[in-house]
Amino acid sequence: MINEGNIIKIAGPVIVADGMRGTQMYEVVRVGEAKLIGEIIELEGDTATIQVYEETAGVKPGEKVESTGGPLSVELGPGVMGSIFDGIQRPLEVIKGISGDYIARGIDVDSIDKEKKWTFEPIAKVGDKVVGGDVLGQVQETSAVLQKIMVPPMIEGTIKSIAAKAEYTVLETIAEVETDDGIKEIQMLQKWPVRKGRPYKEKLDPDIPLITGQRAQDTFFCLAKGGAAAIPGPFGSGKTVTQQQLAKWADADIVVYIGCGERGNEMTEVLTEFPFLTDPKTGNPIMDRTVLIANTSNMPVAAREACVYTGITIAEYFRDQGYDVALMADSTSRWAEAMREISGRLEEMPGEEGYPAYLASRLAQFYERAGRVITLGQDPKESSVTVVGAVSPPGGDLSEPVTQNTLRICKVFWALDASLADKRHFPSINWLQSYSLYVESITNWWQENASEEWRENRDQAMVLLQKESELEEIVQLVGPDALPDSEQVVLETTRMLREDFLQQNAYDDVDTYCSPSKQAAMLATILKFHEAASVAVERGADVKEIAALTVKEDIARMKYIPEDEFEARIKEIQEKVVTQCAEV
Amino acid sequence: MNADIKTREYTTVSEVSGPLMVVEGVEGVAYNEIVEIEAPTGEHRRGQVLEVKDDVAVVQVFEGTTDLNTLNTKVRFTGETAKIGVSRDMMGRIFDGTGTPIDGGPEIIPDKELDINGNPMNPASREFPAEFIQTGISTIDGMNTLVRGQKLPIFSGSGLPHNDLAAQIARQAKVVGSDDEFAVIFAAMGITHEEANFFMRDFERTGALEKVTVFMNLADDPAIERILTPKMALTTAEYMAFELGMHVLVILTDLSNYCEALREISAARDEVPGRRGYPGYMYTDLAGIYERAGRIAGKEGSITQMPILVMPQDDITHPIPDLTGYITEGQIVLSRDIHRKGIYPPVDVLPSLSRLMSGGIGDDKTRDDHSGVSDQLYSAYAEGRNLRDLVAVVGEDALTERDQSFLAFAQAFEDEFITQAKDEDRSIVETLDLGWKLLTILPKTELKRVKDEFIEKYYPE
């Protein structure tokens, strides 16, 4: 039933309408003569409070509000990949065609192209018994993505007909399934409400690392596929570059990148750069596996509240096809602030720092949609959604509510540090504050795939870095010369760890991505230096001479050795370490 | 329509409080609509609808609510949101904070009427800014490079020479190898007459005045008017940049005053305050200003923004600089410590940053060694500064030779690289060569941030 109400109050992005009895919570409505898109967020008697996803200037009391009968949903199917959408899945390229370089209001566009034809290749056969999640066929959407066309969840029955291999639009019926309630026609297009997680069979423990090619993250504070990580940091600490590095190099099949309340130029940067970068694993352009969602800081605030849900629903859809998906949300603080703004307009009783009392539960609900799962269907697959959320704490103060509530849920914490960023130590991940609770569970993977000594080396390096911070305090008081030689060697080693291992140059062609094996080899070399230097000092060698060894320069340049040469060359450096330290 | 307009004049003001006025019994009033107010004295003012509920409208009055009463104040709803008439002839003219000419010249005959709130630029239409702007200031060009279409604020403190720096940048900014000059739009929000005169004199002295458009809301003008000033300026900038194809440099000063005005309105409306009493939507509001910088693919012009803001108590974590830093593409931070040493411009490079630097420098834009030199200067200066703290405790003699060289470097960096005269316009090559000269103070083996090939090519003998 289509309801029609009248606007009685307008205050920024929130409007109130009466005559709305019969509408549902979270139903999408069209507001006013401009037909702005809104969503019902409160119902009381006849009146509904609506958050409007577009600018409300010029809207008057008395104008109509039309209900649409359904909740805010995304359209899923071929045509999603490589696109850039706004917070409510309107393709920005199409909007550009309609309203030019600026986004006008009330634009009604299809989320995915309904005219475009895709080559559908059937896999299931007539007579097959199918359940939700089973694959009917596939479409090669981009060079990197083979979309599986699935039976929507909740449908179960026998295939009565299936389309032959040919070109179809997303609206054409490609299969008919005979169910208990009659025959259901299935199209390539699926709709799914954004606030509801897509179903799966079972959640698994994350024990496979999400390799990002970033040394500080992979070696020290690793993220697992299906895990959730938080990156809090003040402005200028490199959150965005860190997020973009993950979007570029993470070994996920699909990347969903949400620019939530951030800079317009950052999205442009992704749009101009990604098509020219290739995935180190497959050689395909990384744009072909990327979906972008942009609600920049000057776009309407209510759509910012919705954009993270739009993003994660798209991510879940690809997860259900059996892919490992990585979702980056930059920044979840802007999302929380959007909630706060709407809550303020509703005159709700504020919780901490003006945020609504439901902040913690909303954050938890969002991050819990991450996970490694067994998908629905008779031929279940293991797949995952990994979530990396940037947090922008005001003034860099980590005690604020968004950071604290996020840390309660995320198992990986990459603390970005302004003082490191000031020294141009990038990525500015503070090695003393950050942590990962996945180290235990992914140790096996590293030992099988990179190096047997991985865990031991990692732990030893952490101990040395911890030791350094203690020694630094003493040095501040008495100067470095007062330290015993063995401890001066520690300082030499940790300087290498910091400068030659943890620091990584995102703008260098080679250093931007570092494979797990190279990471392990680099770490082993630095620790070999520590071992050899410690031995030398013990037998009375001068620390100053060790500090002057030329092999230190070789170690400093390890990061620039290309992937295909590193094995031989790092071996040479390791030998040089041993001989030079022995000669001192 | 005429009859309609007549019935839209009311004398039903029921409440006046702070900058706000409540009008009852109104009909068909639109959110954000502009209203014209006739005070009992006959004086005309303007306001804007902040909230409508049934037949009650809350109006914010731009020119202050003094003299308004609830008896016979007349309010007329115009049916339009705030607009500005724009034209090429605005160049060289001076307007008040609401866009009325105050230089005694003729009225502007508008070419177009534009909504001052604008619409958000489509991220898919943007072009990534990547053209190097040479400001002639080493700390900016060498280490925090500005590019066309960037928004790069100056974070300053009271009493620091941010105005001199902004004027110097406005004067010297150019794109190397191109004849295009910048058209400057200068929007003053709540600054003093003296400060305003400083800029006007500087524009006059250098003959830049005919390329400058000035919007002036001074400290003694109504605070609420300040809400309009930057939007007027940026709407004009968008017209000049994307319809007339000019390269526009917008200087906004002082954003702190703008935020104070926002807070004043928010408090008057009894809104739930965010941090330090500023409204929760301040981020979105500021973004509506800053995000209007940029380039559009396929269009000639550009808008580069240089907002100036004075950090209360030099506190960079204060909500105004904090929210700004999260939106702008970097920041130039002025430091009181460096200023006290008598160094001009007192740019503290360590917390300063230009996020768009990497796209605007390098081989075909500045010089191939630029990025390496910049990184090296940064890390060496940071290390030198750290060592100063240590020296205060243990004395310089306790340092190793290596550490002493870093200490000497930091000193030389401040004396030669940061320091320059107010009219000194250094080319990028001069800046980079100066950087190399200073790097020779360090042992060559410490130059880890620069690639070997550049050390060979540029290391001074």
DSSP β-ladder status, B44-53 and B56-61: antiparallel
Closest chain B residue to A16, measured at CA? B53
Please tell me what DSSP assigns to residue A561: S
> Which residues lie closer than 8 Å to A111 by C-beta, 6 or more apart?
A74, A75, A85, A89, A90, A91
Radius of gyration of chain B (CA): 25
Torsion sign, CA atoms A203, A207, A213, A216: positive
> Measured between alpha carbons, how far is A89 from A311 in angstroms, rounded to an integer?
9
> Which residues lie closer than 8 Å to A380 by C-beta, 6 or more apart?
A133, A201, A374
Taking only the tens place, the pLDDT of each residue in B293-338 is 999 999 999 999 999 999 999 999 999 999 999 999 999 999 999 9
> Measured between alpha carbons, how far is B263 from B451 in angstroms, rounded to an integer?
50
Kindly report the nearest CA distance between residue A266 and chain B, in angstroms: 8
What is the per-residue pLDDT for A434? 95
Can you read off the two tokens belonging to residue B452? 């070997």
> Measured between alpha carbons, how far is B228 from B98 in angstroms, rounded to an integer?
6
> Measured between alpha carbons, how far is B226 from B233 in angstroms, rounded to an integer?
11
Within 8 A of B60 by CB-CB distance, chain A residues are none
B314 touches A at CB < 8 Å: no
B313 pairs with which residues across the strands? none
B142 touches A at CB < 8 Å: no
Nearest-CB residue to A265 (from B117, B329, B393): B329
Find the helix or strand (DSSP H, E) in which A575 lies: helix A566-583
Please give the single-letter amino acid code of residue A569: R
Within 8 A of B270 by CB-CB distance, chain A residues are none
Spell out where A208-361 has E strands: 228-232, 254-260, 290-295, 324-330
Kindly report the nearest CA distance between residue A460 and chain B, in angstroms: 25
B51 pairs with which residues across the strands? B58
> Measured between alpha carbons, how far is A203 from A371 in angstroms, rounded to an integer?
7
Q: Mark yes or no for CB contact A423/B29 under 8 Å.
A: no
Widest distance between CA atoms in chain B: 88
What is the per-residue pLDDT for B121? 92
Phi, psi dihedral angles at A228 (to 5 degrees) = -130, 135
Kindly report the nearest CA distance between residue A449 and chain B, in angstroms: 31
B267 touches A at CB < 8 Å: no
What is the per-residue pLDDT for A347? 83
> Measured between alpha carbons, how far is B42 from B63 in angstroms, rounded to an integer?
14
| DSSP secondary structure string for all residues of B297-314 | TT-S-EEEEEEEEEPGGG
Widest distance between CA atoms in chain A: 90
> Measured between alpha carbons, how far is A458 from A439 in angstroms, rounded to an integer?
10
ipTM of this model?
A: 0.85
Within 8 A of A294 by CB-CB distance, chain B residues are 123
Residue A367: strand, helix, or coil: helix
> Measured between alpha carbons, how far is A67 from A71 in angstroms, rounded to an integer?
10
Find the helix or strand (DSSP H, E) in which B141 lies: helix B138-141
What is the per-residue pLDDT for B280? 84
Torsion sign, CA atoms A444, A447, A452, A455: negative
Cα separation values, B218 from A261, B224, B258, Å: 32, 12, 11
> Measured between alpha carbons, how far is B17 from B68 in angstroms, rounded to an integer?
10
Contact B93, B185 (CB under 8 A): no
Taking only the tens place, the pLDDT of each residue in B8-34 is 789 999 999 888 999 999 988 988 888
> Measured between alpha carbons, how far is A74 from B29 in angstroms, rounded to an integer?
35
Taking only the tens place, the pLDDT of each residue in B409-457 is 999 999 999 999 999 999 999 999 999 999 999 998 888 888 889 999 9
What is the per-residue pLDDT for A2? 64
Q: Mark yes or no for CB contact A268/B128 under 8 Å.
A: yes
CA distance from start to end of chain B: 81
Within 8 A of A298 by CB-CB distance, chain B residues are 120-121, 284, 287-288, 290-292
Helix axes B370-394, B428-439, angle to 10 degrees: 40
Q: Mark yes or no for CB contact B52/A475 under 8 Å.
A: no
* Chain B residues 359-398 with a CB less than 8 Å from chain A: 359, 371, 375, 378-379, 382-383, 389-390, 393-394, 398
Taking only the tens place, the pLDDT of each residue in B208-218 is 888 899 999 99
> Measured between alpha carbons, how far is A73 from A176 in angstroms, rounded to an integer?
24
Q: Hey, of A6, A298, A345, A419, which one would you mutate to test binding to chain B, going by the most B CBs within 10 A of its CB?
A: A298
What is the per-residue pLDDT for A510? 92
| DSSP secondary structure string for all residues of A112-130 | S-SS--EEEEE-S-TT-EE
Contact A234, A418 (CB under 8 A): yes
> Measured between alpha carbons, how far is A77 from A89 in angstroms, rounded to an integer?
13
> Which residues lie closer than 8 Å to B431 by C-beta, 6 or more apart?
B138, B141, B142, B417
| Residue pLDDT tens, chain A, 584 long | 567 899 999 988 899 999 998 899 889 999 999 899 999 999 999 999 999 988 888 888 999 999 988 899 999 999 999 889 999 999 999 999 999 999 988 888 999 999 999 999 999 999 999 999 999 999 999 988 999 999 999 899 999 999 999 999 999 999 999 999 999 999 999 999 999 999 999 999 999 999 999 999 999 999 999 999 999 988 888 888 899 899 999 999 999 999 998 898 988 988 888 888 888 778 888 899 999 999 998 888 888 989 999 999 999 999 999 999 999 998 899 999 999 888 888 888 888 888 999 999 999 999 999 999 999 999 999 999 999 999 999 888 889 999 999 999 999 999 999 889 888 899 999 999 999 999 999 999 999 999 999 999 999 999 999 999 999 888 878 777 788 999 999 999 999 999 999 999 998 889 999 999 999 999 999 999 999 999 999 998 888 889 889 999 899 989 999 999 999 999 999 999 999 999 88
For chain B, percent of residues with pLDDT exceeding 70 = 98
Q: Mark yes or no for CB contact A296/B291 under 8 Å.
A: yes
What is the per-residue pLDDT for A584? 83
Q: Give the 3-state DSSP-derived string for A228-264, with helices as H, strands as E and coil as C.
A: EEEEECCCCCCHHHHHHHHHHHCCCCEEEEEEECCCH
Please give the single-letter amino acid code of residue A312: I
Taking only the tens place, the pLDDT of each residue in B230-255 is 999 999 999 999 999 999 999 999 99
Q: Mark yes or no for CB contact A422/B351 under 8 Å.
A: yes
Would you say residue B5 has pLDDT above 50? no
Q: Which of B400, B403, B46, B366 is nearest to B177 (CA)?
A: B366
Phi, psi dihedral angles at B264 (to 5 degrees) = -60, -45
Can you read off the two tokens belonging to residue A522? 């680099």
Q: Mark yes or no for CB contact A265/B317 under 8 Å.
A: no
What is the per-residue pLDDT for B7? 53
Phi, psi dihedral angles at A251 (to 5 degrees) = -85, 55
> Measured between alpha carbons, how far is B133 from B155 in angstroms, rounded to an integer?
20
Kindly report the nearest CA distance between residue B106 and chain A, in angstroms: 31
What is the per-residue pLDDT for A503? 95
Predicted TM-score (pTM) of this structure: 0.91
DSSP β-ladder status, A135-140 and A118-122: antiparallel
Ramachandran bin of A354, using left for φ above 0, alpha for ψ from -120 to 50, beta for the remaining angles: left
Radius of gyration of chain A (CA): 27
What is the per-residue pLDDT for A1? 52
